[in-house]
């Protein structure tokens, strides 16, 4: 259909699904609902070193959990068809060839060595970006290089002067001098496109009418506009949403807040509360109204009423809101939630092997296995910090453990175990001075089932939350 509103959510599957993705997806979803349009989910996995299948799966699950269903895109558990960028390599090459033919892009044969040296020279001259050394290569030089099989990237030929202007629907016209824009790489030497190329080609081919994305992409937009122009394509409308922020107003980060949707689901936040909270980060239906549902938002939302000030992601507020939604549940819903989400059969099957031999009668189960179900845990500072270790060193060890657990590709007890052991070896502490504080932070107890297995079952996000919680409560 001509004129159909088509929006997209385009996450990169490089970690746990982020609250920021849900926030952007929510506004896209509301907008497409208002116009009876379509929302496309596109997996932007062109950075092959950072993209993970497990992360992709969690994105699907989290968006479904929130009810932010997409109209086109991967089937849950099935193939992702034309909506996964890593499966569209030929398309990007085809389009980059068009730019090479029309002279709007060029091959750059510079080696890594040359680029490093060039960067230093540019820096000394107070400049940044590529020095455009390959921009004026003759046809003969290019074919010689190609004959010799010299690897190359393809760069965008950014106009040397003039200004690029685009209209942001929330901010008005934004202009940037072309002289400040780098000759962006479009195609890498391994044949993979960069974000800029794949994003623009796909938005065009997928007939996206409105790009609703985070503010952090504003600086990329002029490059995208130049790309559209180079292809001779019409640009979509641009809407850049304000960034979610930590309490100190910095961009929301996992060092300061849990940012994973997996964590919020696991911690027992309700999807309605999460959506209401995320909506309130940019908008409300008027006056002091804070509690409102999706239907009301779809009826009343307008981008012109959006608040552009950096919204602070305040977990206390989210908890307050969650309580409101929880109180709205009837008893049957409440019981079902506990049964399906807290004591789900799947989860209990994982807990059982670790607890079966540790209880003599069932009345002990809840008190001995509490850490499998709780969020923040109750224990004393004295229990956390061993006599031979000082708080600063323990804090450093915990922070580095947090990073490593975050990067752990496959969350299994074997892999967790090997991280713990290699960290212990690096620290050179007595095993008990290391394992005990980790155990206390993760379980709140001196006696728990085997640590790594327990961590596997508790889950990455809750484990990371508790270690961070130990740091903020007792080690900072
Ligand atoms: N893949 C980008 C991201 O991870 C998409 C940005 C955009 O929406 O253009 O956020």
Nearest CA to ligand 1 atom 8: 213
d(CA 211, CA 108): 30
> 189: number of CA atoms within 13 Å, CB side?
10
Q: How many Å separate Cα 356 from the centre of its chain?
A: 37
Mutation probe of ligand 1 site: the residue of 10, 86, 240 with most atoms within 8 A of C-beta: 10
Shortest-distance atom of ligand 1 to CA 8: 8
Q: Which residue has the higher pLDDT, 127 or 455?
A: 455
The dihedral sign for the CA sequence 261, 267, 270, 274: negative
What pLDDT score was predicted for residue 302? 96
Q: 85 CA to middle of ligand 1, Å? A: 12
**252-310 tens-digit pLDDT:** 988 778 899 999 999 999 999 999 999 999 899 988 999 999 999 999 999 999 999 88
Strands (E), 77-177: 105-108, 153-156, 163-168, 172-177
What pLDDT score was predicted for residue 255? 77
d(CA 70, CA 195): 22
What pLDDT score was predicted for residue 256? 79
What pLDDT score was predicted for residue 257? 80
Mutation probe of ligand 1 site: the residue of 40, 213, 239 with most atoms within 8 A of C-beta: 213
Shortest-distance atom of ligand 1 to CA 24: 8
Confidence of residue 51 (pLDDT cuts 50, 70, 90): confident
What pLDDT score was predicted for residue 107? 98
Nearest CA to ligand 1 atom 5: 10
Q: How far is CA 178 from CA 9, 98, 173, in A?
A: 28, 22, 15
Confidence of residue 49 (pLDDT cuts 50, 70, 90): confident
d(CA 112, CA 116): 6
Q: 448 CA to middle of ligand 1, Å? A: 42
What pLDDT score was predicted for residue 296? 97
Rounded to the nearest integer, the mean pLDDT of the chain is 94
Confidence of residue 3 (pLDDT cuts 50, 70, 90): confident
What pLDDT score was predicted for residue 81? 64
Q: How far is CA 102 from CA 106, 151, 198, 208, 446, in A?
A: 10, 21, 19, 24, 69
Per-residue tokens: 462: 């809750």
d(CA 348, CA 352): 6
**131-141 tens-digit pLDDT:** 999 999 999 99
Q: 191 CA to middle of ligand 1, Å? A: 20
Is it the case that residue 78 has pLDDT exceeding 60? no
Domain range list for the chain: 6-87+245-327, 89-241, 355-475
Q: 68 CA to middle of ligand 1, Å? A: 17
Confidence of residue 1 (pLDDT cuts 50, 70, 90): low
What pLDDT score was predicted for residue 183? 97
Shortest-distance atom of ligand 1 to CA 211: 8
What pLDDT score was predicted for residue 310? 87
Number of Cβ within 10 Å of residue 319's Cβ equals 13
Task: Please identify, in words, the CATH class of the domain defined by 355-475.
Answer: mainly alpha
Residue 295, beta-bridge partner list: none
What pLDDT score was predicted for residue 75? 73
What pLDDT score was predicted for residue 2? 67
Mutation probe of ligand 1 site: the residue of 16, 39, 44, 208 with most atoms within 8 A of C-beta: 44
> 67: number of CA atoms within 13 Å, CB side?
12
- The CATH homologous superfamily for domain 6-87+245-327 is HUPs (3.40.50.620)
What pLDDT score was predicted for residue 77? 55
Q: 24 CA to middle of ligand 1, Å? A: 10
What pLDDT score was predicted for residue 47? 87
Residue with tokens 């921009």: 135
Shortest-distance atom of ligand 1 to CA 203: 9
Average pLDDT (147-153) is 97
Ligand 1, CB within 6 Å, residue ranges: 10-12, 44, 199, 213, 217
Average pLDDT (38-42) is 96
d(CA 42, CA 202): 9
Largest CA distance in the chain: 84
Strands (E), 17-86: 38-41
What pLDDT score was predicted for residue 55? 86
d(CA 271, CA 283): 18
Number of Cβ within 10 Å of residue 422's Cβ equals 11
Question: Which candidate in 254, 349, 350, 395 is catalytic?
Answer: 254
Confidence of residue 333 (pLDDT cuts 50, 70, 90): very high
254 catalytic, yes or no?
yes
Q: 471 CA to middle of ligand 1, Å? A: 32
**What is the pairing mode between strands 163-168 and 153-156?**
unpaired
d(CA 242, CA 170): 10
Q: Can 89-241 and 355-475 be said to share one CATH topology?
A: no
Query: What counts of helices (H) and strands (E) characterise the chain?
Result: 20, 9
Q: Which CATH architecture has domain 89-241?
A: 3-Layer(aba) Sandwich (3.40)
Q: How far is CA 144 from CA 101, 113, 186, in A?
A: 18, 20, 22
Number of Cβ within 10 Å of residue 426's Cβ equals 10
- Kindly compute the dihedral angle of the four CA atoms of residues 64, 67, 68, 72, in this order, to the nearest 10 degrees: 60
Nearest CA to ligand 1 atom 3: 11
**203-244 tens-digit pLDDT:** 999 999 999 999 999 999 999 999 999 999 999 999 999 999
Confidence of residue 32 (pLDDT cuts 50, 70, 90): very high
**390-400 tens-digit pLDDT:** 999 999 999 99
d(CA 107, CA 88): 21
């Amino acid at each position: 259909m001509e004129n159909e509103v088509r929006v997209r959510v385009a996450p990169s599957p490089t970690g746990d699904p982020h609250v920021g993705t849900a926030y952007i997806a929510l506004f896209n979803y509301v907008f497409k609902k208002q116009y009876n349009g379509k929302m496309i989910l596109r997996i932007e996995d062109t950075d092959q070193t950072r993209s993970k299948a497990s992360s992709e799966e969690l994105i699907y699950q989290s968006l479904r959990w929130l009810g932010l269903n997409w109209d086109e895109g991967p089937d849950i558990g099935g193939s992702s068809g034309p909506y996964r960028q890593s499966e569209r390599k030929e398309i990007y090459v085809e389009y980059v060839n068009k730019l090479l033919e029309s002279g709007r892009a060029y091959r750059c044969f510079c080696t890594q060595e040359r680029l490093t040296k060039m960067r230093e020279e540019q820096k000394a001259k107070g400049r940044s970006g590529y020095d455009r050394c390959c921009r004026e290569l003759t046809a003969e030089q290019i074919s010689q290089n190609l004959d010799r099989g010299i690897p190359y990237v393809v760069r965008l030929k950014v106009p040397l002067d003039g200004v690029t202007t685009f209209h942001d629907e929330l901010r008005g016209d934004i202009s940037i001098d072309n002289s400040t824009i780098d000759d962006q790489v479009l195609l890498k030497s391994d044949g993979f496109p960069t974000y800029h190329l794949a994003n623009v080609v796909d938005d065009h081919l997928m007939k996206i009418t409105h790009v609703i994305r985070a503010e952090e992409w504003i600086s990329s937009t002029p490059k995208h506009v130049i790309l559209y122009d180079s292809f001779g394509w019409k640009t979509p409308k641009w809407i850049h949403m304000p960034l979610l922020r930590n309490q100190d107003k910095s961009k929301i980060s996992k060092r300061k807040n849990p940012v994973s949707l997996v964590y919020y689901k696991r911690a027992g936040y309700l999807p309605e509360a999460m959506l209401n909270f995320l909506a309130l980060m940019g908008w409300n239906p008027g006056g002091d109204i804070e509690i409102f549902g999706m239907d009301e938002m779809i009826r009343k939302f307008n981008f012109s009423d959006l608040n552009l000030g950096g919204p602070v992601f305040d977990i206390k507020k989210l908890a307050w809101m969650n309580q409101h939604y929880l109180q709205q549940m009837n008893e049957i819903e409440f019981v079902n939630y506990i049964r399906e989400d807290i004591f789900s059969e799947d989860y209990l099957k994982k807990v059982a092997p670790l607890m079966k031999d540790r209880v003599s009668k069932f009345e002990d189960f809840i008190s001995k296995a509490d850490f499998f179900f709780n969020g923040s845990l109750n224990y004393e500072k004295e229990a956390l910090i061993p006599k031979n270790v000082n708080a600063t060193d323990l804090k450093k060890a915990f922070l580095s453990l947090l990073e490593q657990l975050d990067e752990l590709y496959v969350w299994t007890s074997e892999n967790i175990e090997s991280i713990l052991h290699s960290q212990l070896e690096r620290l050179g502490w007595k095993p008990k001075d290391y394992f005990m504080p980790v155990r206390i932070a993760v379980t709140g107890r001196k006696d728990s089932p085997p640590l790594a297995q327990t961590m596997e079952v508790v889950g990455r996000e809750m484990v990371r939350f508790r270690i961070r919680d130990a740091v903020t409560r007792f080690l900072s």
